[in-house]
Structure 1
């Protein structure tokens, strides 16, 4: 493996050591660079800078600086409605790409929406409603060019599971719908609030590994749930639980009397067709449109087949009725008081966060592929606004769909106008074409959903997670098995808990390392990573790879002492020079609090009893300021705080006394 050049900080160390050596060789006193003490900042300004970096790191007001009031007003409106900005440069060429991609994703979304609505235990038209109004709102307010908006499988399943725990969708359909609209309203409020308060970083606490596991478990759960329609099992004979044991028991217990062979033939035939078209599209990217239009072709062919054979009279379950017309108002249906208010609020927060996580991941993925910036907070506001408006127009939670967004991207979409085109097609479908879906078999909807969710089981990502980080893999599998064997919400809870546990573990147990000198350089690195690195006689060099706070300060102190004790034991066995200096490399220590200072004071006292001197190397400005403010710098001696490890070693080595 070819050697790489040292980083800039290593070059600095080498250069300074060379300068020191040159000055010494000419008989001059060596010039030692000391750590500078940062000037004290005004408390208010320091607090202001911290708040700005936490919540406004992207400096959203930078475009407003030094602008006249009229310009600021225009920029403010454009910030809320980005379409007013990019719409000025819109042209026929872009529209040509958008109309093709819009028509393509419309052919995919219509059959999916009908199936996803059933997954959420809602009538089929509500899925179509959710692909009409929300995409229009997003096109005006969203900043992504590639996201295709509408219902998605995971959120539909999650919403259906949580809502059905509160109200039975079969015996109380109207109350169930009202609860769904109210949960959607609070999902939108949650998303918009996170965007306005710039709290989008909260969704990052759900790690990628946890999302992979959750999505995979949800995909298997969704696929198993579809076996009801795929096998022609009557609803009343099928379990309402989502765990794999209950579903499989329900399936096999009805094998002798509940399955319908005509339904199985229809479902299996078209599932095979859908999987073949998906394979064709995956093998040759030019044929991406084949799997995109395959679901609509399947719906048309299966509906025609059932109609001419009247297979519905042979036990094949069909859609029967989809209400004609566009979204009716549901403002009066929202539960804004009463016993269901709190329940819908809780369900809305969970559904909104999951929907936001999926949309954010999709948006970032395609933005990076096209090399443009995505404003996460604007996205949250846009998603929240569309769900709030959607809840008032008979929609349930909509978000970015990965399958439709991928098709949208490959079809050559240019802007969010593709969502408008899709919405127009859905509008025409609701106004004129819904009666044609009367004889659509439920088996074909089950096949479409099964083929759509297969890609959510990302086993390759799970294997990569295992190779990279075992704790991440535990989070992934915990979420997966929680969803598959218990329930969707338990799986989600497990994912969140394991993600937080990992954060706490990393914060409370930071890594430390013993450093040694790389031969022929003045660079000091981890001896486990660089076995050729040599230790300095009489000196132990420890690096702390984390900020030092109350949560880990005691551990850091004890771990440093353990490193020292281990080295002292080796010294005694090998009859080497005893340890007389302990250098703590502090460049990775970004901050330290009072508990950290106290831990260093205790470390200093402990070292004094052992006859070991404490030396610090390269503390950052925030750490240096606190070392001097707390007077700890004076306690150990200002001459024992150095700019680099090399300078610290140069100070210690001449003072190491050989054992007699």
Structure 2
């Protein structure tokens, strides 16, 4: 009975991490979380409004997507500081996908957006329960960087119509630019001037405000806090100017009447055919959202020496997206900027997210009359400034210097995303990464080894000239696991070596870098062994890892091996070397 109860508690802690930290919650944690929540809420409100417009839904929906998801993540998430809610790239993907099914502003469009959140949440939850967090590793960092950089550029261009006060749209960068060029003559000067002023204010605050406040003898914490308020101040001033000077009459577009109060909780009415049609798109949103959230959560957890559970993060983000769908929101994930602010503000537990959700709730109930006068150009300014940090040139330069294959994968992902859209770009990048991996591992590095005189060490004869060799013994090291893609390559490599050495009696395969041998590779090893036998050459293995040896013992390969299995390369050398 005791063991059963312990097992239940372990399962409960895994599924509900809140049960682990809540018993130790105290007044100090409460005060730290409350302060962090205030700062994050002030940052979240303008971002949520802006990212809702980016997703093609009414601005208030951004606030809906910032309440229940934050609250639910508090119970199911494993990160102390991850701030879940609207995020630029996921919002762009949502708009790009939903626009193919319905026109923005229509009821059908909103149904598709909510369905994407529901499907994404369900997929993440199932993946988490099945412990599939490792799937995020299949997207390489350069591909993600290329995709996000292209998405950031598309996000910036997509906001230019709001900044100019014109109407234009498009699914790809070139379509956006073409439509924008046609609409340029209709530019509203007042809207453009207001938007540019907001951009300058935000950039100046980001670049110089904190240093200026510190120079005025404010504490570092207070200076950082006031700097974080720059978007709120910009929104407030722009709203006041629009209302006070009657800029609406000059063509400045405002949000207009915003529904106040809480959203009604409901579940999207999805047919099987709709779910099947949107499934692939929802999966892409899920993967990108999870990868981004995990990268942020891992980086911040490392600073605090905390542990992030990828499988639990899948569950937490899945439940958060289901909550967003139930409250009429759109797909959400962890935000880099808000999570960093939450971390720097000293959030002690995930409860800071729950408190931030309460802050958004208060804003929905009390601020909607003011939000109605908010000009859309200031939200575009906030988006444009916020995505500047997503343009990642550094990763491309570093990849180009280190391994140009990764740099090319990043570049192709970047170009295809701009040319064909976010879904095609991401799929192309992932496919290219997989192809590069298969190419690299299909032609692995192989080295013929010689003994360093007077030692038990063996090195590549092409790199070390003063090593000992034996014309009767060849020791070959292959620096990769053996599987279907490189099995034939190994056969050709050994055939070539045997043809070069006339008096060869023994060939030793050094296996210290081999972690796995699949069925195709086993067939190749058997073929190699048979050919060597027919040529009068004994085939030996050295330094075979335990799991690999366990599998080989379940076959007849070792029984038919022409040579032996040696504990180390040195022991094989001692036994076979004709000294």
Taking structure 1 as the reference length, the TM-score comes to 0.82
**Paired residue secondary structure (1:543):** strand
Q: CA deviation at 1:396?
A: 1.2
Aligned partner of 2:292 in structure 1 is 358
Aligned partner of 1:204 in structure 2 is 137
Aligned partner of 1:382 in structure 2 is 316
Aligned partner of 1:458 in structure 2 is 392
Aligned partner of 2:175 in structure 1 is 246
Q: 1:193 aligns with which of 126, 129, 152?
A: 126
Q: CA deviation at 1:632?
A: 3.5
Aligned partner of 2:83 in structure 1 is 148
Q: 1:635 to 1:276 in 2, by over 3 A?
A: same
Q: CA deviation at 1:380?
A: 1.1
Aligned partner of 1:177 in structure 2 is 110
Q: 1:623 to 1:142 in 2, by over 3 A?
A: closer
Whole-angstrom distance in 2 between the partners of 1:529 and 1:434: 71
Q: Does 1:547 align with 2:481?
A: yes
Q: Is the CA contact 2:529–2:562 (under 8 Å) kept in the aligned structure 1?
A: no
Aligned partner of 2:546 in structure 1 is 621
Larger Rg: 1
Q: 1:450 to 1:533 in 2, by over 3 A?
A: farther
Q: CA deviation at 1:124?
A: 0.4
Unaligned runs of 5+ in 1: 1-65, 569-576, 656-660
Q: CA deviation at 1:291?
A: 4.2
Aligned partner of 1:646 in structure 2 is 570
Q: CA deviation at 1:465?
A: 2.1
Aligned partner of 1:307 in structure 2 is 243
Whole-angstrom distance in 1 between the partners of 2:107 and 2:293: 29
What does the per-residue CA deviation read over 1:293-337, in whole Å, with 9 as the maximum and x for residues that have no partner? 111111001111111111121121221222111122232xx1322
Q: CA deviation at 1:529?
A: 5.0
Q: CA deviation at 1:528?
A: 4.7
Q: CA deviation at 1:339?
A: 5.0
Whole-angstrom distance in 2 between the partners of 1:372 and 1:506: 35
Q: Does 1:521 align with 2:455?
A: yes
Q: Does 1:481 align with 2:415?
A: yes
Whole-angstrom distance in 2 between the partners of 1:413 and 1:375: 19
What does the per-residue CA deviation read over 1:524-574, in whole Å, with 9 as the maximum and x for residues that have no partner? 123455455454444322112222233432221112223444x54xxxxxx
Unaligned runs of 5+ in 2: 215-219
Of the structure 1 ranges 343-352 and 102-111, higher mean CA displacement relative to structure 2 is found in 343-352
Q: 1:608 to 1:347 in 2, by over 3 A?
A: closer
**Paired residue secondary structure (1:288):** helix
Aligned partner of 1:582 in structure 2 is 507
Q: CA deviation at 1:348?
A: 2.3
What does the per-residue CA deviation read over 1:367-418, in whole Å, with 9 as the maximum and x for residues that have no partner? 1121111121122112111211221111111110011101111111111111
Q: CA deviation at 1:275?
A: 1.5
Q: Is the CA contact 2:35–2:345 (under 8 Å) kept in the aligned structure 1?
A: yes
Q: Is the CA contact 2:533–2:562 (under 8 Å) kept in the aligned structure 1?
A: no
**Paired residue secondary structure (2:539):** strand
Q: Does 1:129 align with 2:64?
A: yes
Q: Is the CA contact 1:288–1:410 (under 8 Å) kept in the aligned structure 2?
A: no
Q: CA deviation at 1:84?
A: 2.5
Aligned partner of 2:495 in structure 1 is 561
Whole-angstrom distance in 2 between the partners of 1:654 and 1:111: 78
What does the per-residue CA deviation read over 1:141-196, in whole Å, with 9 as the maximum and x for residues that have no partner? 111101011110000000111011011124xx111111211121111100000011
Aligned partner of 1:288 in structure 2 is 224
Aligned partner of 2:431 in structure 1 is 497
Q: Is the CA contact 2:158–2:169 (under 8 Å) kept in the aligned structure 1?
A: no
What does the per-residue CA deviation read over 1:245-295, in whole Å, with 9 as the maximum and x for residues that have no partner? 22222223333x221222222111221221222224787875433442111
Whole-angstrom distance in 1 between the partners of 2:170 and 2:425: 17
Q: Does 1:266 align with 2:199?
A: no
Whole-angstrom distance in 1 between the partners of 2:121 and 2:72: 12
**Paired residue secondary structure (1:349):** helix
Whole-angstrom distance in 2 between the partners of 1:320 and 1:442: 10
Q: 1:92 to 1:182 in 2, by over 3 A?
A: same
Aligned partner of 1:368 in structure 2 is 302
What does the per-residue CA deviation read over 1:19-70, in whole Å, with 9 as the maximum and x for residues that have no partner? xxxxxxxxxxxxxxxxxxxxxxxxxxxxxxxxxxxxxxxxxxxxxxx94444
Q: 1:213 aligns with which of 137, 146, 149?
A: 146
**Paired residue secondary structure (2:229):** helix
**Paired residue secondary structure (2:367):** helix
Q: Is the CA contact 2:70–2:357 (under 8 Å) kept in the aligned structure 1?
A: yes
What does the per-residue CA deviation read over 1:434-483, in whole Å, with 9 as the maximum and x for residues that have no partner? 11012211111111001111111121122222233222222211211111
Aligned partner of 2:217 in structure 1 is none
**Paired residue secondary structure (1:514):** strand
Q: 1:404 to 1:618 in 2, by over 3 A?
A: same
Whole-angstrom distance in 1 between the partners of 2:467 and 2:254: 73
Q: 1:179 to 1:543 in 2, by over 3 A?
A: same
Whole-angstrom distance in 1 between the partners of 2:349 and 2:548: 47
Taking structure 2 as the reference length, the TM-score comes to 0.93
The Cα RMSD (Å) is 2.3
Of the structure 1 ranges 495-504 and 98-107, higher mean CA displacement relative to structure 2 is found in 495-504
Aligned residue pairs, count: 571
Whole-angstrom distance in 1 between the partners of 2:54 and 2:252: 19
**Paired residue secondary structure (1:542):** strand
Q: 1:495 to 1:635 in 2, by over 3 A?
A: same
Q: Does 1:139 align with 2:74?
A: yes
Whole-angstrom distance in 1 between the partners of 2:307 and 2:426: 29
**Paired residue secondary structure (2:186):** coil
Q: CA deviation at 1:118?
A: 0.8
Q: CA deviation at 1:131?
A: 0.6
Q: 1:123 to 1:601 in 2, by over 3 A?
A: same
Q: Is the CA contact 2:511–2:541 (under 8 Å) kept in the aligned structure 1?
A: yes
Q: CA deviation at 1:649?
A: 1.7
Whole-angstrom distance in 1 between the partners of 2:521 and 2:78: 43
Q: CA deviation at 1:338?
A: 6.6
Q: Is the CA contact 2:400–2:407 (under 8 Å) kept in the aligned structure 1?
A: yes
**Paired residue secondary structure (1:254):** helix
**Paired residue secondary structure (1:540):** strand
